[in-house]
Amino acid sequence: MEHYADVVVLGGGIAGSCMAKALADRQWETTLIDRQTFPRHKVCGEFLSPEAQSTLHALGLTETVTALHPQRIERVRLIFEHSGEIELPIPGAAWGLSRYAMDEALHSAAMRAGAQLHLSTTVTGIEQRGKGYTVRTKQGANTSLFHARAVIAAWGANSRVAHTGHRPNAAASGQEAYIGVKTHYDGLTMEPVIEMYFFRGGYLGLCPIEDGRVNAAALLSRSEFAKAGKSVLSILEAAVQRNRRLTARLADAVPSPGTQAAIAPVYLQRKPAPWDGFPRLGDAAAMIAPLCGDGMSMALRSAALCAPLADSYLNGHLSLREWERQFTDAIHREFAGPLHWGSLLQWLLSKPAIAQLLPGAARIAPALANGLVRATRLKPYEPVEYRSWNH
Ligand SMILES: Cc1cc2nc3c(=O)[nH]c(=O)nc-3n(C[C@H](O)[C@H](O)[C@H](O)COP(=O)(O)OP(=O)(O)OC[C@H]3O[C@@H](n4cnc5c(N)ncnc54)[C@H](O)[C@@H]3O)c2cc1C
């Protein structure tokens, strides 16, 4: 089967759905494709940082998200295996909200704006043809072709799609591989605080979400947890046993059936790659250390930065090369600082010998601790003035 559109967005997570909505809002015929069925549970801490809110507002999505009744979160507590804890205020309030609810609500918003949604549809190849693209997909035994003037990749960190114009990303070889696992829990009372428990080989975050439930997400060294079993719950159990305070905390918690998910491998040291023949958004462009809790915010921001440029390109006011240049510059300008400080924070917290000194250091120099956390955050969203090529 063949389909035609102005633009096809590949991947319907946070970045892709928001991009599809933004382009449909501008009256472009927009198609959004995702390989999964929705709603679905996804490995994520489900902590939506305060910085995300200004971008959601700019994308016209504040009401879509607040209607899901996210849990307000005011503080972050870091709890170490042997050396106490650090509690830091969150500048502005954050939200706890399940990806199960949020991603589906973003799809609905994109469709209300006029985007066409194709789920359970895997992108298998992309070809550049003249001034447009052909995207090849598979749904069960059926293959389809989507023809468009522009394509935008928002397929997360783990997609491998062959396409013309591809520039191979820096190899992940030699890097430590992680696994991510998540479940929701019932029967756990939480303050408006996100609790992060650190232990040998990883950490686990507990985040209150809508309807009084709690999300648990862990990022674990694959080699450290190789013998932890194959089910998400057995891996989580092995992690929980590594921090006595976490073991006690979850003693009466009951995993909600059907909410478990896993992802592997996760690599934390990828170079930003916002363009690869066409724009890449969210985790496909750059991935901040998950413990910063800013990945969703960066996914939203990349869509907000790309949408006006895509609009100018489709209107004929911008060349593809100029779109690449301006988008790449914008991503580096906004993300370089948070990515740098985020990887430093990840490194500090993953070294037990250093991590045990942190609570004492944070007591002596609280401004330094707050400053380091602030350095990992995006700045509030401000619309950028882009230049069209004939100006
Ligand atoms: C353990 C862990 C904890 C985290 N905690 C947080 C947190 O608390 N707060 C936060 O802000 N961030 C957190 N993150 C990061 C956050 O989850 C990501 O940054 C965010 O999901 C990126 O959104 P995205 O839209 O770029 O990609 P995704 O949300 O991954 O969406 C990509 C979509 O593309 C689809 N796709 C992929 N390949 C194809 C294909 N070939 N064809 C069709 N569709 C395809 C996928 O099905 C998926 O739906 C965490 C990450 C991990 C691993």
Residue 133 and residue 366: Cα distance in Å, rounded? 52
Residue 142 and residue 2: Cα distance in Å, rounded? 11
- Residue 135 pairs with which residues in a beta bridge? 126, 146
- Of the residues 155, 160, 166, which should be mutated to test ligand 1's pocket, given the most ligand atoms within 8 Å of the CB? 155
Burial 242-277 (b: 16+ CB within 10 A, else e): bbeebeebbeebebbeebbbbbeebebebebbbbbb
pLDDT value at position 152?
Answer: 98
Count Cβ atoms within 10 A of the Cβ of residue 370 and give its class: 0-12 exposed, 13-18 middle, 19 or more buried.
middle
Contact 34 CB / ligand 1 (< 6 Å)? yes
Nearest C-alpha neighbor of 304 from the set 12, 14, 10, 4: 14
Q: Pull the structure tokens for residue 207.
A: 């985040």
Cα-to-centroid distance, 296 and ligand 1 (Å): 8
> Which numbered atom of ligand 1 lies nearest the CA of 302?
26
Instruction: Please report the domains of the chain, with CATH numbers, ordered by start residue.
Output: 2-39+99-169+272-375 (3.50.50.60)
- Of the residues 8, 43, 44, which should be mutated to test ligand 1's pocket, given the most ligand atoms within 8 Å of the CB? 44
pLDDT value at position 31?
Answer: 98
pLDDT value at position 391?
Answer: 47
Strands (E), 188-266: 193-199, 202-208, 214-221, 254-255, 261-266
Contact 61, 109 (CB under 8 A): yes
Per-10-residue mean pLDDT for the chain, 391 residues long? Answer: 97 98 98 97 96 94 98 94 85 93 98 98 94 95 97 91 60 80 96 95 96 97 93 97 95 96 91 94 94 94 98 97 97 92 84 73 68 72 68 47
Cα-to-centroid distance, 84 and ligand 1 (Å): 32
Nearest residue (by CA) to ligand 1, atom 6, is: 45
- Of the residues 33, 37, 95, 283, which should be mutated to test ligand 1's pocket, given the most ligand atoms within 8 Å of the CB? 283
Cα-to-centroid distance, 365 and ligand 1 (Å): 35
pLDDT value at position 170?
Answer: 46
Phi, psi of 280 (to 5 degrees): -120, 135
Contact 314, 28 (CB under 8 A): yes
pLDDT value at position 380?
Answer: 77
Contact 159 CB / ligand 1 (< 6 Å)? yes
Contact 16 CB / ligand 1 (< 6 Å)? yes
Cα-to-centroid distance, 144 and ligand 1 (Å): 25
Measured at the alpha carbon of residue 208, what is the angle toward residues 204 and 209, in degrees to the nearest 5? 115
Strand 85-96 to 71-79 pairing: antiparallel
